Amino acid sequence: MKALPTVAVLGTGQMGRPMALRLVSAGLAVRVWDRSHAKAEALVEAGATAAASPSQATADADVVLTMLADGPAVNAVMADPNGPLGSAGPETVWLQMSTVGIDWTDRLAGLAGACDVAFVDAPVSGSVGPAETGTLLVLASGPAHTRATLAPVLDAIGRRTIWLGPAGAGSRAKLVLNNWLVDLVESTAETLRFAGALGLDPATIIDLLDAPIGSPYAVDKARHMLKGDFTPNFALKHAVKDADLALAAAESVGIELGLTRSLIESWHRALAGGRGDEDLSTVYDDAGVRP
Ligand code: NAP
């Protein structure tokens, strides 16, 4: 085993891009691939190597890091019979960091198992800012023998890695956290609308939302809501995906997520209205969203 692993990063979107840059800065050899080739090419100047295909990126890589949109996207890239798992070596570890939910994690773990590749389910908590500063929280789960290989990768990406058990535990924790997060954003939007309707200046409410009762995340989202600045950090389409995954997971274990259930229709309407690529704080703007 080399001192520092070679990492293939598949998916250089909002999150994959800064994560790849952190790995480069930490001195790791990084190969990047994105289906929009220009996004991978844009990282070459920083020191990454752009690959023309996923399997070119993963050939002889120690770690294959996927940071793609959702389960179907990860599957499309990884399940290709001539694809990345075929070119992976016996020591390769697949570090699956996209948020894909429980069922897709099981399917992807099965795919890895069929190719004798070690699979680590490790979604992250935190957004583009923490990805840029290497301060993500990594919710890792999977075989313990992979930890030494992954340590330099996870140290470069996150401020903390929590190992939660067998693969699947990380995705379960991520669903729980993001369920809380979508409820928080909906509650923040509703609070600002409520304040405005009562004749208060919502900006004043943001000050009052500050510590000790406010969360920094909610305060940041509230500021963007009032500015009407919905530049994506965490795109609404991904937040809706995560809310849907949480609702399905809850249903499978006989739990009702009442708060999430109450927001999901209006969030889907915002998605159908073409706002999926905006930040999830766009749900503050309820034009055409609420009856
Ligand atoms: P993003 O900017 O939309 O990037 C998604 C990536 O997936 C892009 O590389 C995209 O390619 C690729 N992709 C989408 N569909 C594909 C397909 N069918 N085949 C191949 N590639 C496909 O999303 P992101 O914000 O980086 O999020 C990535 C993952 O991390 C998601 O699962 C998200 O839920 C999760 N996450 C996001 C945040 C956040 O705050 N943004 C935080 C934690 C976790 P193109 O470049 O061609 O579009």
Would you give per-residue pLDDT tens digits along the chain (291 residues)? 457 999 999 999 999 999 999 999 999 999 999 999 999 999 999 999 999 999 999 998 999 999 999 999 999 999 987 889 987 877 999 999 999 999 999 999 999 999 999 999 999 999 999 999 999 999 999 999 999 999 999 999 999 999 999 999 999 999 999 999 999 999 999 999 999 999 999 999 998 887 778 889 999 999 999 999 999 999 999 999 999 999 999 999 999 999 999 999 999 999 999 999 999 999 999 877 876
Closest-CA residue to 185 (of 218, 223, 220, 145): 218
Pocket lining: 269 vs ligand 1, CB cutoff 6 Å? no
Task: Enter the tokens of residue 289.
Answer: 């969203």
Write down the pLDDT at residue 291: 66
Nearest to residue 278, comparing CAs of 36, 72, 10, 14? Answer: 14
Crossing angle of helices 147-157 and 16-25, in 10° steps, is 110
Q: What is the largest CA-CA distance in the chain?
A: 65
Q: Is 49 in the pocket of ligand 1 (CB under 6 A)?
A: no
How many A from CA of 204 to the centre of ligand 1? 35
119: part of which helix (H) or strand (E)?
strand 118-121
Instruction: Supply the pLDDT for residue 2.
Output: 58
54 CB-side CA count, 13 A: 26
Torsion over CA: 169, 167, 8, 235 (sign) = negative
Token pair, residue 187, equals 């509650």
- pLDDT of the residue at 152: 98
Residue the block writes with tokens 């840029």: 132
The reported pLDDT for the residue numbered 213 is 82
- Matching fold, domains 7-166 and 172-286: no
Give the count of beta carbons closer than 10 Å to the beta carbon of residue 137: 17
Contact 222, 235 (CB under 8 A): no
pLDDT for res 267: 97
Cβ–ligand 1 contact at 54 (below 6 Å): no
Kindly state if the Cβ of 133 falls inside 6 Å of ligand 1.
no
CATH of 7-166, one of 1.10.10.60, 3.40.50.2000, 3.40.50.720, 3.40.50.10490: 3.40.50.720
Tokens representing residue 238 in the block: 């991904």
Q: Which protein residue's CA is at the shortest distance from atom 16 of ligand 1?
A: 73
Edge-to-edge strands of the sheet including 63-66? Answer: 49-50, 29-33, 6-10, 63-66, 93-96, 118-121
Closest residue by Cα to residue 98 from 128, 137, 71: 71
Which structure tokens are listed for 208?
């009052």
- Looking at residue 235, what DSSP letter applies? B
Which of 68, 98, 234 has the most ligand 1 atoms within 8 A of CB, as the residue to mutate?
Answer: 68
Question: What pLDDT is stored for residue 94 in this prediction?
Answer: 98
Q: Is 231 in the pocket of ligand 1 (CB under 6 A)?
A: no
Q: How far apart, in whole angstroms, are the C-alpha atoms of residue 20 and residue 23?
A: 5
Fold classified for 172-286: N-(1-d-carboxylethyl)-l-norvaline Dehydrogenase; domain 2 (1.10.1040)
Q: Is 72 helix (H, G, I), strand (E, B) or coil?
A: helix
Domain boundaries, the chain: 7-166, 172-286
Distance 29 CA to ligand 1 centre (A): 22
- Dihedral of alpha carbons 46, 97, 268, 202, sign: negative
